[in-house]
Structure 1
Amino acid sequence: MPDTYTPLENYGVIGNQETCALIGSDGSLDWLPLPYLDSPSACAALLDRERGGLFAITPTLKFQSLQRYLPNSNVLTTQFSTAAGECTITDFMPPREAGGEHRMLLRRIAATRLETRLKVVFAPRFDYGRQKPELVPDGTRLTARAGKLNLILSGVALEVESDAAARAELRLNEGEELWLVLSWADTEKLPTPKECGKLLEKTLSFWTRWSEAHQRSESVHQELCHDLAMRSGLALKLLMNPESGAIAAACTMALPETVGGVRNWDYRFAWIRDASFTAQALFHLGYAREAGQYRRWVTKILQELPEVSSLKPCYRLHESVAREEGSLEVLEGYRNSAPVRVGNLAWHQTQLDIFGEMVNTVFETTRFGEEMGAKTWEAVRRICDFICQNWGKKDRGIWEMRTPPRHYLHSKLMCWVALDRGCEIARRTGRRAPVAEWERQAGELRRAILERGFNARLNSFVQTFDSEDLDATAFLIPIHRFLAPDDPRVQSTIDAVWSGLSAGPGLLYRYSADDGIAGREGAFLLCSFWLVYALSLSRRIDEAEAVFRQALTRVSPLGLMSEEVEPATGEQVGNFPQALSHIGLINAALHLGIAKGRGHQGPPPQSEGERPGSS
């Protein structure tokens, strides 16, 4: 059976700051959850070509295509060339923050040379392919109804067929254009073609104005990877909830970490992990407002905690959305990769590292001059007291292992970060705290990490206490200022992990240990960028730049990244686009730029601050 699925690197993403859509280079809209990013899908051909649902506009003749974003925007164009002529499809959603109606997706077809013939297929499937909506045509308007969701497609007369799909064939001559509007708004009024043109102008204006913050910033990215950093910022903006400031890990669910495998997770949640790195990335791109929004989301979670132990590794983007993990048997999965998981079990897990992330983000808040409220400080105190009582316990770790809990070094490191930064906040702000006890506990933690987390035979820090398993989180030891970059143990760890987890030039696996899940995974792009951080801090600049350049070759033609890369083929795998991969790129360029003597705005990354002792 031929593989009819579109490679992930051949998708573009658009969005309205409430949801996102993936549109392939073949003109097919294959992923659209509605009305929110974490809602059930209306189109999910991404996960099942036959039953998932789609909205495709494709040439009737054999074609070549090229996708691009209009400059500094999230407006996507797909140019088609056939033997008969050429056309361009422009896809976008009006951003919520631009004001006005935004719950619509607009597709402009413009014939640019000779004659263009296209076929339109509109076959939505609601609730992850489990509902075939009723299709009701009315001239050039068609309504898809099922349950509470109504979709209206206007602009072309479609013929409804027996398979709950509507189809049409179009012929446009050079210079002609046609607008198709897909709306899920609570209104029957849809924009006219002239109004559609104005919406395009308004959308472009919003994104280009927003992007100017990066253009004006004194960013180190200007030299190293300006366009890719810009695209990363634009992708993160699409994944950010404009009300709360939370950022989704990705806009998709159930995309496999290896094709045909079972590691298929729902990433439409906001994770606590790497919170401080996220705020750092946004700020140094020039987006101080978004960095502040994100930090306020974190502090709001802290302030509302009924008890410290109730802190979760991940949070829903919208409270009305289910979070329990299950599987959808109706969908076959991307390239037959089942199960298709929805929801995520991770929110149930105990992950001690998240407490360090929270305190470190509050510390970042004070570094950037924002005032820390009394409730936030009280939450920090409670976390540090909790860490003193619980750092010796086992957990599931940053990678959310499904094996029995263990003593993960990264979790211990982040517990140390919580106590270290808690003490530093207290000293800087004059807040009352049992600093002596926190420092004593931090000292015990430090000794435990150095004595049980470093394997003398491997000459490297390892994944869990008293083990011989390597883990890329060891690159974070100098990043979090636990040891100085020039400490021999740091340098030997960089070399051991780089060699032991290498997946090819510029690529690394996350770890080598059994994680309790069948199958294998691809190379993890974030780990490549962590290696760049560590090499840059070590002032091993040539090696850092080489790894960085190699990692950039894994970016899609549109500048987007998934979570992982299949080393054997170079294809992107895992959920897409992945926030952590883009955050990693931004921060890797920042660290590398500073190592090369480039300037930056605002406070430097914590890793470039005062270095710890090497005891």
Structure 2
Amino acid sequence: MATPLNQSVADSALLTRSLPLGLLRAFVQTDAADDGLTPALLAELKVLARVPGLLVACNYGGTLCDAEGISTETLPLGSAAIALRALAALPNTHAAVISGRSLRDLAAVSRLPAEVHLVGSHGAEFDMGFAHAQTLATEALLQKVGAELNEAVGFMKGIWMERKPVAVSVHTRPAAPDVVSAVTKAAREIAARHGLAFIVDGSVLDLSILEPAKADALENLRSRLGASAAMFAGDAASDELAMATLRGPDMGLRVGAGKSVAAHRLRDPESFARVLAILFELRRAWLFGEDAVGLERHSMIGNGSVTALVTPDAKICWMSHPLPDSGSLFAHILGGDAAGHFTVAPVKASQVLGQRYVDSTMIVETRWADVTVTDYLEPAPDGITSLVRVLSGHGAATITFAPRPDYATAPFSMEARSDEVHVMGTSEPIILLAPGVTFNITSDGRHATATAAVNLANGPVVLNLRCGDTEPQPADPAGETGRRAGVALHARQWVQNLALPAVKPSLVRRSALVLRALVHQPTGAVLAAPTTSLPEGIGGTRNWDYRYCWLRDGSMTVNALVDLGSTSEAAGFLAWLGRILANAPGPEWLHPLYSVTGAPLSTEAVIDSLPGYAGSRPVRIGNAADHQVQLDVFGPIAELVNSLSEREDALADPHWELLVQMAAAVLARWHEPDHGIWEARRAPRHHVYTKVMCWVTLDRALRTAERHGRAPKPEWAPAAAAIKAEVLQEGWDAAAQSYTVAYDSPDLDAAVLHIGLSGLLDVTDQRFLDTVTAVERELRVGPTVFRYRYDDGLPGLEGGFHICTTWLIEAYVAVGRIEEAWDLFDQLVNLFGPTGLLPEEYDPGTETHLGNHPQAYSHLGFIRCARILDAHQDQHGTRKRHDEPSRG
């Protein structure tokens, strides 16, 4: 199985990580007084490191190395060469040296690798052919100028001359000051007499046919390489021409003395080497992520309105406000510290002893030897987010509150007032209430951060972050225990009413709590996942925003809860859907997904300033699937209404009307091609899964009508029969010996298993048995099952989908392959994170968890499998399975 890495990104990452970076880090950590590495410079480097495309360019002699000349003693500093090469190896990062030397001399002396662009002759010479393209007149003039120079100054001590493609150079470095002065005067007069440009570049005097062109060279490179920002460093007058073109996030660095337009001055080339090392470290962290924590190791907290992710070491790394698809307040998981985080850690460094959910709740505890952090989201009035963090123990802890509103793009300021921290300049008030805690506010020039240290031996500390609350009540640490107990009681009462299977009941319980937390209670909508752009392949571009309600996913999520005995979520979801239908031109024109408010999505956009999880870009906001045609969505809705009415032994009139509308939508459009369940971004096709779900819509409508004495439409049964006949005929591929993804296609996808799982085709039919075998053979790899293997028009690869794995488990049970079902189920169980959560995908090649987290699909599929296996062992007396130790 190939890894899901984008190969070019992977190669660059491996190259840069194989370099002697200890040397680079030593430069970063070295303290050198008056070297020019100021806090302001560091702050600007952080900004520059995060641009989409970066060009780092500099002069050679006097900037990258100490002196001019053509001998091997003037090779670049070893560390500078390493840093420049490392920068050039990073994705979307380019390095260049623009020197007054001839290109041949520059290449020979610098010995820089091919990935560093070299430009000679003060910016005029981009390739070796330049020297051979000069006219005879140019050659004659330079010979004449060379002869005059030799006669005038060639005899002086410490002076020697060099021919370049378009210039004659006089090197003065070893000469005495009075000799240098006399030579400079004579050379200037000769240049003027012949109409040549006179260029002073350190200890080198150039009499050139061409004016210095470093500015043009920099612009040429910027345009050709697609750089969105540039750094240029130099020490000579000709370098100032290039620095004068810098703008926006660009950075100019003057190395050494002399007048300059650059905003920053460095002491010497060694200081510049340190800057290159710092820039490399900053950009590498931005591109590849700052030691990305495995997705499955993140825990989620939620209160029915808002969710947040917590790392294994108690860092709030993701939270948005006030809606699930609003801009983030903390986005560390997508951009490291610079994207926002809320961190608590013991002062005395130690390993985390463990993280767990408080039993049957969404309250998370993270414990060190002398510090415990308890996190939960407290129920609050609509539009208000209340995050509570309780610090307890007998040690000391540090608190770092670093909000970065709107994906770290919105300006804001911060102010400490008594024991409160106020975030100002945001669209809604944000206040951190912290009784007894004194915060210190600092700024890096763009963003403010509040820090504090507390001694827990004096008692617990309660931090209450309130967003959107115009009049927050004073925090009452003494009352927090009671509020927390109320939150826990509410969750436990809900859990106690669930009918949990005997198979893995604690994991089923946790999965149910996760699904319930994905229900947006104010509206009834259901999130597919609480996150955006967690990658389907590390370093790839398959990064999607899942903070919306897909009609398919939402129906399946609340249906899983109905199966466990909780029906209120289904009622809320169907009411939400009813409001959408009331404003739709017709049920057949439903969008595949909506925001939780019921509004269509805005245009899919990219946040260029965020590097993405482990460097996986782009980070996307919005989802273009909103504009697709997905005609399978009616089936899961009909399945839900059927299940809910069966569970309650009653059918509400609005639910029957909804079922009638879904059937009407199918009758109107089932014959059309669509984009399918996997939302392929290419031309619509006649997808087999879609046709099966259209049949399911009519079949479940007929069942529901019969059960509850309703009158079905006369066209439902004939249409269902027609769809079934067409699917069985057109969906089968004789060459593949399987049902396939679409009519007239040999490609296989895991969703075709529903041709039997739905009841359309008898599971004992040889065609279904063959389809199960084909999916197993072509799509299963170890503990996971891939959606498909065909080219879907998108770059990069992805992992196996947990929902597909659960479908194959269900198919194994349906066809009587029970031991194989148990074996695959056990392998799936082993993939759960330490607190019982699952993301969307898993790559068996790299053993990496992938996709948005936690994923509703993954957890609802697991619940269904546990229930099916439990029912089978009860019915057939097959081997009993004991639950694993509780993960909360």
Same fold by TM (over 0.5)?
yes
Aligned to 1:501: 779
Match of 2:461 among 168, 171, 178: 178
Whole-Å Cα distance in 2 between the matches of residues 10 and 224 of structure 1?
23
SS at match of 2:781: coil
- The alpha-carbon deviation at position 212 of structure 1 amounts to 1.4
Whole-Å Cα distance in 1 between the matches of residues 634 and 664 of structure 2?
11
Match of 2:341 among 49, 54, 66: 54
Match of 2:545 among 243, 252, 266: 266
Contact 1:141 1:152 in 2 (8 A): yes
Which stretch of structure 1 is more off in the superposition, 527-536 or 357-366? 357-366
Match of 1:336 among 615, 621, 631: 615
Which stretch of structure 1 is more off in the superposition, 289-298 or 540-549? 289-298
Contact 1:295 1:361 in 2 (8 A): no
Whole-Å Cα distance in 1 between the matches of residues 400 and 657 of structure 2?
56
Contact 1:124 1:132 in 2 (8 A): no
- The alpha-carbon deviation at position 493 of structure 1 amounts to 0.9
- The alpha-carbon deviation at position 107 of structure 1 amounts to 1.0
* Structure 2 residue 438 is matched with structure 1 residue 160: no
CA distance 1:136–1:274, change in 2 (3 Å)? closer
Aligned to 1:205: 489
Contact 2:560 2:860 in 1 (8 A): yes
- The alpha-carbon deviation at position 227 of structure 1 amounts to 0.9
Aligned to 1:541: 818
Aligned to 1:69: 357
Whole-Å Cα distance in 1 between the matches of residues 555 and 413 of structure 2?
47
Whole-Å Cα distance in 2 between the matches of residues 167 and 385 of structure 1?
57
Aligned to 2:186: none
Aligned to 2:386: 104
* Structure 2 residue 562 is matched with structure 1 residue 283: yes
Aligned to 2:740: 462
Aligned AA (2:874): G
Match of 2:723 among 445, 448, 456: 445
CA distance 1:154–1:375, change in 2 (3 Å)? closer
Whole-Å Cα distance in 2 between the matches of residues 552 and 175 of structure 1?
42
Aligned to 1:19: 306
Contact 2:413 2:448 in 1 (8 A): no
Aligned to 2:366: 78
Aligned to 1:489: 767
Whole-Å Cα distance in 2 between the matches of residues 120 and 356 of structure 1?
49
> % of aligned pairs identical?
32
- The alpha-carbon deviation at position 421 of structure 1 amounts to 2.5
Deviation string for 1:47-85 (max 9, x for gaps)?
11143111111234432111111111111011123xxxx
Match of 1:572 among 837, 840, 849: 849
Deviation string for 1:255-309 (max 9, x for gaps)?
1111111111111111111555433310232323334333444455445543123
Aligned to 1:87: 371
CA distance 1:143–1:406, change in 2 (3 Å)? same
Deviation string for 1:583-610 (max 9, x for gaps)?
11111111111121269xxxxxxxxxxx
Aligned AA (1:577): P
Whole-Å Cα distance in 2 between the matches of residues 100 and 39 of structure 1?
14
Whole-Å Cα distance in 2 between the matches of residues 464 and 478 of structure 1?
16
Whole-Å Cα distance in 2 between the matches of residues 61 and 531 of structure 1?
48
* Structure 2 residue 585 is matched with structure 1 residue 306: yes
* Structure 2 residue 670 is matched with structure 1 residue 391: yes
Structure with the higher fraction of residues in helix conformation:
2
SS at match of 2:525: coil
Whole-Å Cα distance in 2 between the matches of residues 279 and 23 of structure 1?
25
Whole-Å Cα distance in 2 between the matches of residues 377 and 101 of structure 1?
33
CA distance 1:21–1:417, change in 2 (3 Å)? same
Aligned AA (1:195): G
SS at match of 2:784: coil
Whole-Å Cα distance in 2 between the matches of residues 430 and 87 of structure 1?
61
Contact 1:537 1:591 in 2 (8 A): no
- The alpha-carbon deviation at position 242 of structure 1 amounts to 1.4
CA distance 1:235–1:500, change in 2 (3 Å)? same
CA distance 1:517–1:21, change in 2 (3 Å)? same
CA distance 1:453–1:228, change in 2 (3 Å)? same
Which stretch of structure 1 is more off in the superposition, 308-317 or 387-396? 387-396
Match of 1:38 among 305, 321, 325: 325
- TM-score by structure 1 length? 0.89
Task: Give the CA RMSD over aligned residues.
Answer: 2.3
Aligned to 1:609: none
Contact 2:438 2:452 in 1 (8 A): no
- TM-score by structure 2 length? 0.63
- The alpha-carbon deviation at position 101 of structure 1 amounts to 11
Aligned to 2:628: 349
Contact 1:298 1:361 in 2 (8 A): no
CA distance 1:533–1:190, change in 2 (3 Å)? farther
Whole-Å Cα distance in 1 between the matches of residues 771 and 305 of structure 2?
42
Whole-Å Cα distance in 2 between the matches of residues 368 and 60 of structure 1?
53
Aligned to 1:248: 527
Whole-Å Cα distance in 2 between the matches of residues 580 and 63 of structure 1?
36
Contact 2:739 2:748 in 1 (8 A): yes
- The alpha-carbon deviation at position 404 of structure 1 amounts to 0.8
Aligned to 1:584: 861
The alignment covers a number of residue pairs equal to: 583
Larger radius of gyration: 2
Aligned to 1:28: 315
**Whose relative contact order is higher, 1 or 2, with alpha carbons under 8 Å and at least 6 apart?**
1
Aligned AA (2:336): R
Aligned to 1:612: none
Aligned to 2:792: 515
Contact 1:308 1:386 in 2 (8 A): yes
SS at match of 1:32: strand
Contact 1:94 1:102 in 2 (8 A): no
Deviation string for 1:327-382 (max 9, x for gaps)?
11121111111111011111211111012223333333432346545565455445
Match of 2:691 among 412, 420, 426: 412
CA distance 1:427–1:15, change in 2 (3 Å)? closer
- The alpha-carbon deviation at position 568 of structure 1 amounts to 2.0
* Structure 2 residue 471 is matched with structure 1 residue 190: no
Aligned AA (2:438): A
- The alpha-carbon deviation at position 520 of structure 1 amounts to 1.1
CA distance 1:572–1:322, change in 2 (3 Å)? same
Contact 1:16 1:102 in 2 (8 A): no
SS at match of 1:46: helix
Aligned AA (1:596): Q
Whole-Å Cα distance in 1 between the matches of residues 486 and 652 of structure 2?
38
CA distance 1:131–1:252, change in 2 (3 Å)? same
Contact 2:588 2:669 in 1 (8 A): no
Whole-Å Cα distance in 2 between the matches of residues 15 and 281 of structure 1?
19
Whole-Å Cα distance in 1 between the matches of residues 704 and 517 of structure 2?
33
Whole-Å Cα distance in 1 between the matches of residues 379 and 456 of structure 2?
31
CA distance 1:369–1:17, change in 2 (3 Å)? closer
Contact 2:753 2:811 in 1 (8 A): yes
Whole-Å Cα distance in 2 between the matches of residues 500 and 150 of structure 1?
53
Aligned AA (1:393): E
Aligned AA (1:34): H
Contact 1:539 1:595 in 2 (8 A): no
SS at match of 1:144: strand
Aligned AA (2:485): E
Aligned to 2:755: 477
Contact 1:9 1:571 in 2 (8 A): no
Whole-Å Cα distance in 1 between the matches of residues 410 and 582 of structure 2?
40
Contact 1:472 1:510 in 2 (8 A): yes
